Amino acid sequence: MKPNILIATQISEGKEYCLRFIRDELKKLAASDGVSGVLCTIVDNAKVEVDEFRKSLDLGDSVVVEKLDLDGRAFAGKPSPTRIGTVREHQRQKFLRSKTNYSHLYFHDCDIIHPDPSEVIPKLLSMDTHIAANAYCMRSFEYPIFVVLTEDPGEDVYGRWGETVSKPVKHNGLMEVRGCGMGSMLISRKALETVAFRTDYDGVDTSWYGEDFDFCIEVNDKLHSPPKVRFIGGVWHVSENGYAGRITLGDECEQVRNAQSTPVTNKWGAWLPGVWRITEPMMRELLGPGFEYSTGRRLILETEKVDDLCQKLELSQ
């Protein structure tokens, strides 16, 4: 059956720096085969005018631009996933209540830039799973860090971050995971009918955990379908500091990690459980017991000025 896809994005307060490119991103994504609707939710952002933004998209009746005011819902002091989860749940409900019988919802965070938006949705559809996502880096841009929950229990507490990515990455650049970020994610209708987004994170340590992981884990538990993450394609994550970063896969390399349940500190620094690092020749002899070795792929972090990136990709300035 031919897919029928709704694209959903949100522009929250403080994300005005994304306005320079989000319009062109949405237009190009909306031109993909099977896309029949765009939902743009302006969250607590008085600087973005609904009618003006809708007109600038020039997508006709296929686009809905709406305001969502959360200021009156006592979100002050709440963990970030509480607020984000509330917006995602709002968009999930709009998807399910729509008279258009959508088959998939594609979440596109406004601070994400794809080198070729026209290939994003077709590539994710081809992964043939209830949750398909593109990997992207965290916005600190200090190290090649991205966060997913893998099938390895030793990595669940901290997520996947480090200098390398290990054997779960297959030759086609895909990896099955337990959870991943939703900045560029395609979700099936069945998954959205089965699981709602969590909206209460009071008392929860959300430094490495949030509504995205919770949703993915519950979908996997109920539908027995692990999310798949695509590591090729070079998705850019844009920061308010004027730079964008992305992670690409490099050559194979030898890697090592702390296989114990507690952190270890030695001359090479602190080793959190389950975090892979590139092996130096002398490490095998000097690290001692409690460390595991394998072959992985180097993670390469690239950064670029947003001005230069927008010019290169012909995005509005």
What's the rounded Cα separation, in Å, for the pair 205 and 213? 13
What's the rounded Cα separation, in Å, for the pair 221 and 198? 15
228-230, strands of its sheet edge to edge: 63-68, 35-43, 5-12, 104-108, 184-188, 131-134, 228-230, 174-176
At 169, the amino acid letter reads V
Average pLDDT in the 85-92 region? 96
Residue pLDDT, tens place only, 187-242: 999 999 999 999 988 877 776 678 999 999 999 999 999 999 988 778 999 999 99
What's the rounded Cα separation, in Å, for the pair 66 and 272? 43
52, containing H or E segment: helix 50-57
Q: From its phi and psi, is residue 314 left (phi > 0), alpha (psi between -120 and 50) or beta?
A: left
Whose CA is closest to 104, among 215, 191, 221, 233? 191
Give the count of alpha carbons within 13 A of 259, CB side only.
10
pLDDT of amino acid 171:
52
Q: In the chain, what are the domains? A: 5-238 (3.90.550.60), 246-302 (no CATH)
Average pLDDT in the 273-300 region? 78
If you average pLDDT over every residue of the chain, what do you get?
Answer: 85
Weakest-pLDDT range from 150-159, 175-184, 229-238: 150-159
Whether the per-residue pLDDT at 153 is higher than 60: the answer is no
Sign of CA dihedral 185, 135, 78, 15: negative
Q: 159 vs 247, which has greater pLDDT?
A: 247
Give the Cβ contact number of residue 206 at 10 Å.
15
% of the chain residues with pLDDT over 90: 52
Q: 150 vs 131, which has greater pLDDT?
A: 131
Whether the per-residue pLDDT at 256 is higher than 90: the answer is no
Average pLDDT in the 148-174 region? 52
pLDDT of amino acid 242:
93
CA distances from 120 to 111, 127, 259 (A): 15, 11, 36
Whether the per-residue pLDDT at 154 is higher than 50: the answer is no
What's the rounded Cα separation, in Å, for the pair 90 and 197? 9
**Contacting residues for 78 by C-beta, under 8 A, at least 6 apart:** 201, 202
Instruction: Kindly state the DSSP code that residue 169 receives in the 8-state scheme.
Output: S
**Contacting residues for 256 by C-beta, under 8 A, at least 6 apart:** 276, 277, 278, 279, 283, 284, 287, 291, 292, 293
Average pLDDT in the 285-291 region? 83
pLDDT classification of 157: cutoffs 50, 70, 90: very low
- pTM value surpassing 0.75: yes
pLDDT of amino acid 306:
94
